[in-house]
């Protein structure tokens, strides 16, 4: 040990400039490591979807007046996200899902999403100027439905069988005109059409 100490002392006296240079280099490295290792603020750790879930407003807190949506107690039209909880029919009973619906100036506008309780993807829905199409998925990830107009005003809606049927095996197809179902078709899991009906417009 004494020999090691003597060697270090001699090195320091012979090369004082090198020691200073090393110290200057180490200081910014330590400062950088401190920043990197410092705990990240909670808001920065969250994904934007997690942040949206925290900021979204429950449907019960929104009021509709003359076709415009307002947050309870607010005079200005609502801007932000609505959080709507609902249930859909499944083979094992009702399944809870949560929808996130975007608003701009009191109107539904933009791309909304839906999720199952375990955060698996349930739906993609478009509102307002971007259209009104909607696609939904079974919990398995298999395609559940697709509608060109989820409002069922003018467009075509298709529903598909879940597993063990092949992905994309149609179950139902309906056509709407001015909010009225004008035709429908049904298929079984094997892909055979079971019924077809053109509904007379009243």
pLDDT digits (tens, 9 = 90+) for 92-116: 679 999 999 999 999 999 999 999 9
Q: Is the peptide bond before 164 cis (omega within 30 degrees of 0)?
A: yes
Query: pTM of whole model > 0.85?
Result: no
Residue-wise pLDDT for 119-145, tens only, equals 999 999 999 999 999 999 999 999 999
Q: Which of 116, 108, 117, 98 is nearest to 52 (CA)?
A: 98
Q: Per-residue confidence of the chain (202 residues) as pLDDT tens digits?
A: 556 556 655 655 665 554 554 555 556 555 554 544 455 454 556 798 999 999 999 999 999 999 999 999 999 999 999 999 999 987 667 999 999 999 999 999 999 999 999 999 999 999 999 999 999 999 999 999 999 999 999 999 999 999 888 899 999 999 999 999 999 999 999 999 998 876 654 4
The token duo for 145 is 């439905």
**Which residue matches tokens 């009906």?**
197
Residue 112 near residue 119, CB atoms below 8 Å = no
* CB of 140 closer than 8 Å to CB of 163: yes
């Amino acid at each position: 040990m004494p020999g090691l100490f003597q060697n270090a002392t001699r090195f320091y006296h012979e090369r004082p400039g090198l020691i200073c240079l090393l110290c200057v280099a180490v200081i910014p490295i330590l400062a950088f490591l401190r920043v990197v290792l410092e705990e990240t603020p909670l808001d920065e750790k969250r994904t934007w979807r997690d942040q949206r879930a925290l900021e979204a407003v429950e449907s019960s807190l929104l009021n509709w007046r003359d076709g415009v949506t307002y947050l309870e107690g607010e005079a200005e039209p609502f801007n932000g996200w609505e959080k709507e909880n609902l249930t859909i029919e499944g083979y094992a009973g009702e399944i809870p899902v949560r929808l996130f619906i975007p608003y701009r100036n009191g109107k539904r506008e933009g791309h909304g999403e839906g999720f199952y309780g375990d955060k698996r993807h349930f739906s993609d829905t478009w509102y307002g100027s971007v259209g009104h199409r909607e696609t939904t998925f079974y919990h398995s990830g298999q395609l559940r439905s697709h509608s060109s107009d989820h409002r069922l005003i003018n467009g075509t809606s298709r529903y598909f069988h879940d597993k063990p049927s092949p992905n994309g095996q149609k179950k139902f197809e309906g056509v709407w005109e001015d909010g009225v179902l004008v035709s429908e078709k049904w298929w079984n899991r094997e892909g055979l059409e079971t019924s077809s009906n053109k509904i007379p417009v009243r």
